[in-house]
Amino acid sequence: MEGGPLAGKTVLVTRGKEQAKTFAEKLRAVGATPIEIPLISISPSSHREEIEQCVRQLSDYDWLVFTSANGVRFFFPFVKKETPLPKVVVVGKKTAAALKAYGVSPAVVPDEFVAEGVIEALKPLVKPRDRVLLVKGNLARPVLRDALMDMEADVTDLIVYETSMNESGKEQLLYLLRERKLDVITFTSSSTVQSFIRMMEGEDIDSLLSGCAVACIGPVTKETAEKAGLSVHICPDQYTIDDMIKEMEFYFAKRTMEGK
């Protein structure tokens, strides 16, 4: 799109390869030039037998909780279409949309799209000794599991995918930063931040990011970035890609008005 609100802006997309395409398309639609350098890789869990066993026992659970769209993506291929499901909980709209592709509607979608939002939504619903199957990735924070256990629920952690660092784009990333080719670097998870920091070990990160805005999708990712010493310029109130792009538009419009 020529002349869109992000025209002339080059935006680095760091999320995994499988999810980067949609984000890049949305950026192009508002005039930006996306560059994809995946800083993480997502792969199926090696604990296939454990997943199959949990799926066979799905009727024993009261709740089935997904903390990400990837959880849905890697869990449902194990589930037969006619299998009855417990009450399903998802962390946000994107996870709910992934679920819809399998013809399933969640019983609970929290107002706030982080684990803390799920906790608040479930507090009045989960009873002591309720059985909860918590479907997640290997790097998921323990906050939701711990909160469910505080509610006296019987929680089963089920890791269905694994996130690993991807340093294959390190040289390209360093070139783009050294040549001041980027206007925004985006982080859509704490793991993308952690991978970036590891890649930049030994480098002057403050100097490399000079003139480049840092955008985080939500408060958890922002906190990870700030703890790592990064200044975060863009973080939307709603933790979605669409809202992050709108916040980018607002950020650059404001800078233009201020003559920066």
Q: What CATH number does residue 219 fall under?
A: 3.40.50.10090
Q: Which of 143, 164, 185 is the last residue of a domain?
A: 164
pLDDT value of position 113: 65
The whole-number pLDDT of residue 1 equals 57
108 and 48 in a common domain: yes
Query: Is residue 232 included in any domain, yes or no?
Result: yes
Q: What are the start-end ranges of the E strands in the chain?
A: 10-13, 33-36, 40-44, 63-66, 87-90, 131-137, 154-165, 184-187, 213-216
In a domain, 3, yes or no: no
Q: pLDDT of 168-179, one tens digit each?
A: 999 999 999 999
| Helices 190-199 & 219-227 angle (0-180, nearest 10) | 20
Residue 85, exposed/middle/buried by CB under 10 A (0-12, 13-18, 19+)?
A: middle
**Closest listed residue to residue 135, CA positions, set 150, 126, 148:** 148
Q: Are residues 69 and 33 in the same domain?
A: no
Chosen domain end from 164, 193, 211 = 164
Number of domain units in the chain: 2
Instruction: For residue 97, give its domain range.
Output: 43-164
Whole-number Å distance between alpha carbons of 127 and 33: 49
> What amino acid occupies position 224?
T
What is the predicted pLDDT for the residue at 61? 97
Question: What is the mean pLDDT of each successive set of 10 residues along the chain, which is 260 residues long?
Answer: 85 89 95 96 93 95 92 94 90 84 86 77 93 94 92 96 93 97 96 94 96 94 96 92 96 88
